[in-house]
Structure 1
Amino acid sequence: MLARKPDGKLQPRLIPSDKDPNAFHITHPKNSLEGNVAVASEGRGFHFVFPVEPHGDKPYLNGLKPGDASRTALGLFERNTAHHNREYGLRIDDYMDKDGNVKEMMSGYNPRTDSTNSTSPLVLTQLTCFTGYGNGITNAHVRAGELSLSQFRVAKSKSGIVMLRGVRTERYEQKIEDSVILGEREDATVDEDDSDTERRVGLLFTGPVTLKNIYFDDFYKSNVYNSGAIGFAGKNSEAVTQNRMEEGISFGFSDPEQGNRMLKPDTDNDRGGNDVESFRDNGQVTHSSSPTTVLRSTSFHVTDQCYTRENWGPYAICNEDYAMMGISNIVNVKRVSHTDTVVTLDSEGDPVPKNTPFNVVLNRFHYHYVFSFGKDDFDFSRALKLRTSDKKQVIYFDQNLKL
């Protein structure tokens, strides 16, 4: 299917979305799409848009009530292809207001077991066997809660796959597996357009996300723009842990000689969540012989078991396991090594605001942490929030501990 916009004069626009026509413009989530091809639309190939209230001449016939659409599970989405659409191949991130205007949702698509109840459990969204290539902005962009992408094949776009976190007040997982993600540069000697400086990335995510059996290639070095196979989404204000790179992650190029496995971030877009972003790697991304953690290279995070790569920017590769911590009180935090070397969370040694997230090393033989509070009767055990990189790992604290 190919879609073209009306000129607004001899061909009047019938609905607001006509100004950026999509090949498939889906406003009811229960539609099933299987084996379709969306080509060269002036908007998006497959665009799921969730109305805040039912639309149409007889809205009561679609079975949805106001607010239901973004909480209703999708029908089948399998074996679909989108290529050379001007903007996106697949996009799930927008809502439609009561006047029919499409706007970015920001909170994402979060289907529930009961679409009328925003507190009922999340439902897994499964997208399978999608092929996208040559789309102008991104081949596949999805902001959701529980999410599974499998057997995706994407290539030749500024962004291959963008997986963003939906609702922020709940814990859930996202995963991508059995997929191929290719960039634009098949060879480092290919001529470049000097005017196109926008970054290129294969997989961009917020998390928590798990990768398994993914092949990356064609992210060769460029003298014009920043590129990388894997990257963290910028402007992330939420602290997220439990990102995991599991078995079957492979690359068709060498790092750093030919290209970058990690996208060097634009730190001007950093928010609080970016300061503590990390993933646990089984060794295939970092080309290590043992599991490692990749996280921001700050003095409080790194140890003598860490090293950096210039082409990865502000990331360190550490032969350590970490947990993420936060404390619901203003606190001064110090990390003390077995050689009595002290590093403070705040670079000036000042207290940090309450609920400031930070990463701590899980090595009780080499490091311990000292927390200083401004009041004597503070209950540390109740204020502590701790998340490990392994959800099965349990760390115990004395419930009577007071500092």
Structure 2
Amino acid sequence: MRNRVHNQQGAALVVVLMTIALIMIFTTVMMNSILSSAKQNQIIESNYRSTHLAEMGARYIHHNILIYVKENDYDHPQDLSNMQQFVENKISSVTVDENHEDRTFELIGDISSEDNGDSIRILYTVAGHDGDFTEELNITLSLDLGDGSVGSSDEWDEVSETFPDPPENPDHTFDEQQDWSKKDCPTDENGSYYLDQGGTVDKCDMTTGDFYSNGDLVIEGNDKSSLTINGTGVFQGVGINNKTNLQINGNAFINAKLTSQNNPNSQYLSCGSSRFKGGIDYRGEFSVKMYMISDGFARFESNPALIGEDAVFKQGLELKNTYVRTGGDLTIHISESVDDFLNGVNLYVGGDLTLIEHNDNTTINPNHSNVTYITEAQYPEFPACEGVEIPSSGGGSDPSADLVDGQY
């Protein structure tokens, strides 16, 4: 009997020990499974984060490529290395996660390009990092530089309604009226100039970059004086006197009336477009290669007014011993009848002639002996503007960069 009791106790002990062993084995297996699952989840999460960071970096680089192109008058492909430096500087300032410094993205290798004549493709590789995990993404963008140009007088009207702001950091600043003469004629042909009180150019042949005058500028001198602007010209008012000329190799914005002091031996030439808020009273040679708008009354005498594209005269037009010739449409707001107006002018029009009376009655392409509708061979020519690159006027199409492909 005693032996049976001992045997039963021994069997029970074995069962207990086996149970404990099974529990320990099961617990170990479960712990390993849990740890393995946690590790797998961590790997999956890290892999997902590295992929997400690569995509984030691709979008960030895409955004900054477009910023660089818009802000730096991008010249392809010469500026590709400068673009890369700009992008890398931007990336270096990015912190993805302050608590995890190993979560980053970076540009791998060099930004490259393909140019097939119709479009420019920008190619780059970005890597997203999360600790030991890295995912690379190859991106292809289609880059359209746009032209920044104006395509109609309506567009120029909108673009030039508000004049450009003064340059933020001009190369040359003059707080008081600045008078230049032959002995101190500037020589910085590409420097930007800001005149807070206007000035004079007397017996001086002066060439500059962008030019902004907050006061009136007078070009004068019996010995021929000139101002040539390699860029945009913004003026409160301009007077171009005897034997002098103003050539703007860009767009012109003039707030007060353009005058020539009753002198037929002066010259105004804009290789871009021109806006005259105060109107025009001019006897010299007058030429605008692109679009022209006069908000005030315009009067030309002795020399023709030549406009390469559309011209708009919002407060009337008077001609004395001269004519207007346009390569595009000519729109004139008139205060008299159509016949009375046409009897006093000579017009050569390459597009449509539109006359708008004070009661808004509109006449298009009237048949009159003083109006000649010309062909392209008779359009005005501007030889002094040959080879001149017109700066962007803020119109036309803006640069764009569209995603074409992305490959892991």
TM-score (norm 2): 0.35
Higher relative contact order (CA 8 A, sep 6+): 2
Who wins on radius of gyration, i.e. which is larger? 2
TM-score (norm 1): 0.36
Give 1 or 2: higher helix fraction: 2
